[in-house]
Structure 1
Amino acid sequence: MEERYDFQEIEQKWQKVWEQSAIYGVKTDPAKPKYYCLEMFPYPSGQLHMGHVRNYSIGDVVARFKTMEGFNVLHPMGWDAFGLPAENAAIKHGVPPAQWTTENIANMRSQLKAMGLSYDWEREIASCYPDYYKWTQWLFLQLYKANLAYKKKANVNWCPSCATVLANEQVVDGACERCDSVVEKKALEQWFFRITNYAQRLLDDLDNLPGWPDKVKTMQENWIGRSEGAEMDFALPETMGGFDKIRVYTTRQDTIFGVTYLVLAPEHPLVEELLKNNEREDEIRAFISKVLNLSEIDRTSTETEKEGIFTGHYCLNPMTGEQVAIWIGNYVLVDYGTGAVMGVPAHDQRDFEFANKYNLPIRVVIQPEGIADLKAEDMDHAYVDKGTLVNSDAFNGMPNEDALGAIATELEKLGKGSRKINFRLRDWLISRQRYWGTPIPIIHCSTCGEVPVPDEQLPVILPDDVEFKPSGESPLRSRLDFLNCQCPQCGGEAQRETDTMDTFVCSSWYFLRYCSPKNEHEAFAAEDVDYWMNVDQYIGGVEHAILHLLYARFFTKVFYDLKLVAVDEPFKNLLTQGMVLMDGAKMSKSKGNVVSPEEIISRYGADTARLFILFAAPPERDLEWSDRGVEGAHRFLHRVWRLVQAYQPSLRQVTTLMLQPADINLSELNKDDKELLRQINYTVKKVTEDVGQRFNFNTAVSAIMELVNAMYIYKEKVPAEQQNLALIKDGIGKLILILAPFAPHICEELWQIVGGKGYVYQQSWPSYNEKALVRDEVEIVVQVNGKVRDRLSVANGLDADTLKAQVLENERVQSFIDGKNVVKVIAVPNKLVNIVVK
């Protein structure tokens, strides 16, 4: 056995052996319980970062542990391979996106293998390969046929110089990142999924996910944004272009009598009618242009100053009939509610600030308790709490909470409104006017209209050899061999859809494809997904808590309704790991604080990298990078190596690798042997619970370190000829097994050295002996008048009276109470004795 721990030789050796023997390959096996462990698949940027290392190390520990517990574990890996970075690289470097992506995948695959991760590489997928996106297209068509996919006009970021649509991330300070031209908003036909049809189910079914973090469920709940209120109609004095009213949604119909203005979104269809023959048309259009260049986030942010402009027109309050000024504002969105909001400045802080800015009327309609007469001129902020209605005609004196229902009923009676449940969630815009994505399988025919591509013509192949023109326009528009086609229905000339799909579509079903990755006849086989789904443990960053997870839930529910899968939630349990920080900031190239995983693996080994990143912090918290911590993890593995090396010659005479409870007679063991036995079994119990129940990997590693310390103490304290070699070999065998999920390479090597059979990955997780956990003696605290004076070892399980007697007879204790009157003695068995003296 080599005295030196040569991690490079050991890790390369076992990675090669594992790959050649395909020990991580898995098949359905109804005779075994299944466990599906999945980390979010990465974008193939070409380089792993420490966030990847943390994510995948967490998943690998879980997968290895569950395998050793006897589960049939599915642990796959693949690539979220479409997206804008590849397209930008093609434009910048002249490298085809397919080539750039394929090379990056190869590089990252080798990096993942260098970490010793237990992936079944036979199940590898990449969303940019035709054998994957064929089924993305097929699934799109299933939504299309179910009336869940549709096309409508929507505003996009348009660069007039590049003559192309830009993603939000391509717009920097209102300008195109490529040419610095001012970006405009332009209405184009866009494809959407009707996720709003599932809003209530997506909300309700969060209650069926006890294995998800509460913060993630709250984020999704807020994003879905269910609210109960009323829609009401503000009539226009005269019909304008077919409009005779403005419909408003509100959750505060109790304040309808306090409305002093109404605000429209700039995109509201009535706006164009209001601008006809308007003296201020140029001024209003300039304001609208300014607002449309803001992102949706900026428009709805509480930090953005609320701005507006008066249109010169009025509408009528549905309850009072009085005129209400119509404004256009930067904080109203056309696709939330009705695109129009009523202004009640006395009882809404945003409206209060807006009214004060533009000198608009403020009318109090809710009187607070304990204030004789709240007046608008005395208010320095809006009153938004409970109270009694005033200035509200027949509803005066009614508690405002009761008025919500009463006023809704009156609006319905008058035919001017109705109760309404609304959602913040909007339909999912999946169109991308870019090249590197899944082509949308729709054909446009002048005779037949929108025609879905027949199943037998899938996939619609994305051409690899494309030319990116300086205009920035998608190459698909100029590839006539792609664009022009024959209509499947009438056989006439037609054109393909040139929009590609949002990459979130690809990642909304990939976990299903892993179940049947080589299936050429269907997206996934029913017998495979019925066995493997749903994912038992999903692991990834909290930044995906809303969009990706929401879209994956939506897709799964759609597939459930279409009877394609038997589950309606994709992920049973969710772990969102924290970020890796350096000097308190997230690692990034721009900040110059990046640590390369390749550098760490080269210098210390993959086992060290894994062990450190799992030990340094609980998985859900941010981890502060520490070079000293890495070195500490490396030193610990050296200690484990030396411990096994030191005992190896002696252990050859011991035939049994690990002891069973029946092999041990506790009464025959001496004190040192019993303590080592207790430490071995306590550690197995602790690690089993920390990994299997709580995912407290850091405390599990800490317990393993304590066991190694205990074995060194035993080695140094007990003379060699008196050491219990069977017990030592038992401890070393179990140490290797419980450390293996964290540091698999060194443990595989040590397992062979101590005579273990087969691969350590395929061994059963060790059990522990409950009887061995019981100490013969325990340490108790002795207090005098509440102050700790001593600690004594006493027999375990002494009753209170016996414990009191033994403590009072102790010479050191007597020195603290000598000459004093003992008033009371309080004894807590196995914990403490407190002596009260005067």
Structure 2
Amino acid sequence: MDMKYHPHAIEEKWQRLWESEKLFEVKEDPSKEKFYVLEMFPYPSGRIHMGHVRNYSIGDVVARFLRMNGYNVLHPMGWDAFGMPAENAAIKAGIHPAKWTYDNIDYMRRQLKRLGFSYDWSREFATCDPSYYKWEQLFFLKMYERGLAYRKKAYVNWCEHCQTVLANEQVEQGACWRCENPVIQKEMEQWFLKITDYVDELLDYTYRLEGWPERVLVMQRNWIGKSHGSEIDFPVEGRDDLKITVFTTRADTLFGATFMSLAPEHPLVPELCKGKEQEQRVLAFVEEAKKAKRSDRTEDLLEKEGVFTGSYCINPVTGERMPIFVANFVVMEYGTGAVMAVPAHDQRDFEFAKKYNLPIKVVIRPEDSDLIPSAEELDHAFEDDGVLVNSGQFSGLSSEDARRAITEHLAAQGMARFQVQYRLRDWGISRQRYWGAPIPVVYCDSCGIVPVPEDQLPVVLPLDLELLPNGGSPLPVSESFYRTSCPKCGGPARRETDTMDTFVESSWYFIRFACADENSQPFDPERVRHWLPVDQYIGGIEHAVLHLLYSRFFVKALRDMGYVDFDEPFKRLLTQGMVIKDGAKMSKSKGNVVDPDDMIAAYGADTVRLFCLFASPPEKDLEWSDQGIDGAYRFLGRVWRFVAENIEKLREVKPFSGDISGLQGPLAGLYRKSHQTIKKVTEDIRDRYHFNTAIAAIMELVNLMYQVRDRGDEKDPAFWPVLRHAVETTVILLSPMVPHITEEIWHELGYDSFLLNQPWPSYDEKAVQEDELLIVIQVNGKVRDRMTVSAGTSEEELKKMALEREKIRQYVDGKEIRKIVVVPGKLVNVVVA
């Protein structure tokens, strides 16, 4: 055994052997308990980054640990391969997105294999492969049959730079989540998936997902945004055929509504200003407002501006005329796109009313005051609940009682109804880009929208098209693609040239991994039933609303279509922190990127893995440290050197397996420490995924191994067996984190089986217990003394021994002892009067 640790030779050797033996491939085995561990699969951007390494190292430890604990573990890997970055990169590089994507997949696969991750590569697929998206197109058709997929004209988020529509969830602070350019509102025909049909179930299950971080569940609840309130109709003056409906949670303030605010996108705006002298001003204002950042409009960042439409509506309880404005702070996504403005009791409305000299009426007073301020005395809106004033027959009621009473009063006249409102909107999946899964419908002048028959799937994305220089899709100008015949009447028809949002692909990929070789149907029901749902899912919290919410919806829709028999995709979720350097997230723009290839070349894969696992708990951000990765390399060198220096002696003996009572001094201490480390590491991985503290415990064991070797009695026949037991314990416990070096040492010790097939060690409860314990003695909660006792000392004996201590007697003699509290193994507290 070489005295020097050579990571590259060792790692490449074992990776070849693992692959040739198909060590990580797994089949269904009813005799074992299954466990499906999955990290969010990567976009093939070209190279993995340190965030990938951390994410996948976490998953690999879990997979290896569980397999050694007897589970049948499914641990697959694939590629989220469609999307705009491929197109943008292809345009820049002058190559086809398909070539760019598959070249990147080849490179990244080599990188992942070089890190030694225990993936079942036989299940690998890329979502841009027709054999994958064929089934996605089938799901779309099934959803269309059930009314879950539909097409409508709507205002959508449009990114001019990316030349495509974005879902609400893909707009971050008014900018495109991909390119960070401003997003505008544009009216277009779009395909939607009716996620709102599942809104109550999606919300309800956020209170049942016990294995999910509460932070993620709160984010989903907030995005779903359930509100209880009332819908109230406001007739438009002079128009029996028009009314404006608002949703409000504050029906108690209705008597104070003095004007109406509409979103610029509200469909009634053109009609309300038509023929009025304000018409051109209104239409110009509408176009300008649509260009504003969405977040500025919704997060109260814009100066509040509006324009009078020239029309009025009627307050249904006061009968007063209310001018109708278009306002830049109202958006269609919330409520109905119309807001009854109550300036005395809403700060936005207050500021708007002051600016445009509109009436302000006080209709709520605080519960603890009989004073009713005049409108002129207000310097800000009173937004709390209170008691109604100036509200006709409802004056004197509490806000809560008034909300119900006013709604019921108007409901009797057909002008209101109780309503539950949601922030969540249906998922717009149309993308005006090329590199995506084609939407399987055609348009016929005679038959309208016609689904592509199932036996004609997949509608294949042509790979012989040239991308347009501005990033626009070539599909709408490619006659070979869009010209087709109608499946219903046989006449000429045009294919849909929009492609699906790439989040559709990632909303069901985890099910396909159960049966990636299935060709006749989307899923093999028996294999899906065996493996799903995913037991442990691992990925970034940035996907809390996007991918995770869509996946939950997709599973529920597939369940109702008979494809799966479970309700939620992921039993447990771990959201790992970011990798940061110099106080910021690693990114090319910040110039603080650490290339995993460089680190592997310098230190080896095991060191890189160990540093990522040791530097921080998984859920916390990891601060990159050059000293830290040096330290990880030195530790592995110490483990290697200990074995190499003593290999001949270690090979001559078997690991000690007797009773600890037969050991003395340092050997007893080392044997006890080995079992304590097994217990610590097992619990840290199994219960908490705290790999950092598990590794720290192993480091302590290694330090003690060196001490015992250097100071122990080599003549003791138990000397080398106890050291061998400690070495084997170290190797097995480290193996999920650093599988290559541990595999090499394991075989140097004389074993011929793979470590992954080795059972995880159990610990001896008797050996874990300390022989002696240091007990703190307190009097009235203050530390007064300490004593060393045998581990098995009873509570009564501890009390007696504490009271006999000379230092304690001076605090208790002559005083009434009220009680003595014993915390086993830690302290005795004497309470005196």
Q: Same fold (TM over 0.5)?
A: yes
Distance 1:757 1:357, change over 3 A: farther
5+ residue gaps, structure 1: none
How far has the Cα of 1:33 moved from its partner?
A: 1.0
Distance 1:785 1:324, change over 3 A: closer
Among all aligned residue pairs of Structure 1 and Structure 2, give the percentage whose two residues are the same amino acid: 54
Deviations 1:199-229 (A, max 9, x none): 1111111122110111111110111111111
Alignment match, 1:726: 721
5+ residue gaps, structure 2: none
Alignment match, 2:426: 427
Alignment match, 1:259: 257
How far has the Cα of 1:79 moved from its partner?
A: 0.8
Is 2:150–2:191's contact at 8 Å kept on the other side of the alignment? yes
Alignment match, 1:234: 234
Alignment match, 1:415: 414
Secondary structure of the structure 2 residue equivalent to 1:285: helix
Distance 1:820 1:80, change over 3 A: closer
Q: Tell me if 1:93 matches 2:93.
A: yes
How far has the Cα of 1:705 moved from its partner?
A: 1.2
Is 1:224–1:423's contact at 8 Å kept on the other side of the alignment? yes
Once residues 448 and 801 of structure 1 are traced to their aligned partners in structure 2, the CA distance between those partners, rounded to angstroms, is 90
Alignment match, 2:660: 666
Once residues 819 and 224 of structure 1 are traced to their aligned partners in structure 2, the CA distance between those partners, rounded to angstroms, is 62
How far has the Cα of 1:646 moved from its partner?
A: 3.0
Alignment match, 1:710: 704
| Paired letter, 1:444 | Y
Secondary structure of the structure 1 residue equivalent to 2:412: helix
Once residues 727 and 170 of structure 1 are traced to their aligned partners in structure 2, the CA distance between those partners, rounded to angstroms, is 61
How far has the Cα of 1:601 moved from its partner?
A: 1.0
Q: Tell me if 1:493 matches 2:492.
A: yes
How far has the Cα of 1:675 moved from its partner?
A: 1.9
How far has the Cα of 1:628 moved from its partner?
A: 0.9
Is 1:265–1:328's contact at 8 Å kept on the other side of the alignment? yes
Q: Tell me if 1:150 matches 2:145.
A: no
| Paired letter, 1:315 | C
What does 1:577-616 align with in structure 2 at a 5 Å threshold? 577-616=576-615
Once residues 575 and 159 of structure 1 are traced to their aligned partners in structure 2, the CA distance between those partners, rounded to angstroms, is 32
Q: Tell me if 1:317 matches 2:315.
A: yes
Alignment match, 1:780: 775
Once residues 527 and 812 of structure 2 are traced to their aligned partners in structure 1, the CA distance between those partners, rounded to angstroms, is 78
Deviations 1:28-78 (A, max 9, x none): 112211101001111110111111111111111111111111111111111
Once residues 245 and 563 of structure 1 are traced to their aligned partners in structure 2, the CA distance between those partners, rounded to angstroms, is 43
How far has the Cα of 1:712 moved from its partner?
A: 1.9
Alignment match, 2:299: 301
Alignment match, 2:197: 197
| Paired letter, 1:237 | E
Distance 1:32 1:830, change over 3 A: closer
Distance 1:442 1:833, change over 3 A: closer
Alignment match, 1:213: 213
Alignment match, 2:326: 328
Is 1:310–1:325's contact at 8 Å kept on the other side of the alignment? yes
How far has the Cα of 1:299 moved from its partner?
A: 1.8
Distance 1:822 1:569, change over 3 A: same
- Of 117-126 and 398-407, more deviation after overlay is shown by 398-407
Distance 1:69 1:258, change over 3 A: same
Alignment match, 2:6: 6
| Paired letter, 1:731 | A
Once residues 742 and 714 of structure 1 are traced to their aligned partners in structure 2, the CA distance between those partners, rounded to angstroms, is 25
Is 2:166–2:428's contact at 8 Å kept on the other side of the alignment? no
What does 1:317-356 align with in structure 2 at a 5 Å threshold? 317-356=315-354
Deviations 1:12-31 (A, max 9, x none): 11111111111000111122
Alignment match, 1:753: 748
How far has the Cα of 1:471 moved from its partner?
A: 5.0
Is 1:156–1:165's contact at 8 Å kept on the other side of the alignment? no
Deviations 1:570-609 (A, max 9, x none): 0010011111111221111111111111111111111111
Q: Tell me if 1:763 matches 2:750.
A: no
How far has the Cα of 1:154 moved from its partner?
A: 2.1
Count of paired positions: 825
Is 1:82–1:127's contact at 8 Å kept on the other side of the alignment? yes
Is 1:798–1:830's contact at 8 Å kept on the other side of the alignment? no
Is 2:618–2:689's contact at 8 Å kept on the other side of the alignment? yes
| Paired letter, 2:368 | G
Alignment match, 2:73: 73
Once residues 547 and 743 of structure 1 are traced to their aligned partners in structure 2, the CA distance between those partners, rounded to angstroms, is 33
Alignment match, 1:549: 548
Secondary structure of the structure 2 residue equivalent to 1:444: strand
Once residues 792 and 252 of structure 1 are traced to their aligned partners in structure 2, the CA distance between those partners, rounded to angstroms, is 67
Deviations 1:474-531 (A, max 9, x none): 1111211111112112111111100000000010000011111111111111111101
Distance 1:237 1:476, change over 3 A: same
**Candidates 274, 284, 304, aligned match of 2:272:** 274
How far has the Cα of 1:338 moved from its partner?
A: 1.5
How far has the Cα of 1:780 moved from its partner?
A: 2.4
| Paired letter, 1:380 | D
Secondary structure of the structure 2 residue equivalent to 1:371: coil
Q: Tell me if 1:368 matches 2:363.
A: no
Is 2:87–2:471's contact at 8 Å kept on the other side of the alignment? no
Is 1:171–1:177's contact at 8 Å kept on the other side of the alignment? no
How far has the Cα of 1:372 moved from its partner?
A: 2.5
Once residues 233 and 800 of structure 2 are traced to their aligned partners in structure 1, the CA distance between those partners, rounded to angstroms, is 85
Is 1:827–1:834's contact at 8 Å kept on the other side of the alignment? yes
Is 2:232–2:246's contact at 8 Å kept on the other side of the alignment? yes
Secondary structure of the structure 2 residue equivalent to 1:338: coil
| Paired letter, 2:81 | A
Secondary structure of the structure 2 residue equivalent to 1:346: coil
Is 1:336–1:426's contact at 8 Å kept on the other side of the alignment? no
Distance 1:789 1:186, change over 3 A: closer
Distance 1:804 1:274, change over 3 A: closer
| Paired letter, 1:503 | T
Secondary structure of the structure 2 residue equivalent to 1:538: strand
Secondary structure of the structure 2 residue equivalent to 1:781: strand
How far has the Cα of 1:450 moved from its partner?
A: 1.0
Q: Tell me if 1:831 matches 2:826.
A: yes
Alignment match, 1:482: 481
Secondary structure of the structure 2 residue equivalent to 1:469: coil
Deviations 1:113-171 (A, max 9, x none): 111101011111111111111111111111111111011112346689x9954659899
How far has the Cα of 1:356 moved from its partner?
A: 2.6
Once residues 57 and 84 of structure 2 are traced to their aligned partners in structure 1, the CA distance between those partners, rounded to angstroms, is 28
Name the Cα RMSD after superposition: 2.7
How far has the Cα of 1:636 moved from its partner?
A: 1.0
Q: Tell me if 1:684 matches 2:678.
A: yes
Deviations 1:703-755 (A, max 9, x none): 11111122222222212222532222222212211111111111111111112
Is 1:66–1:73's contact at 8 Å kept on the other side of the alignment? yes
TM-score under structure 1 normalisation?
Answer: 0.93
Alignment match, 1:443: 442
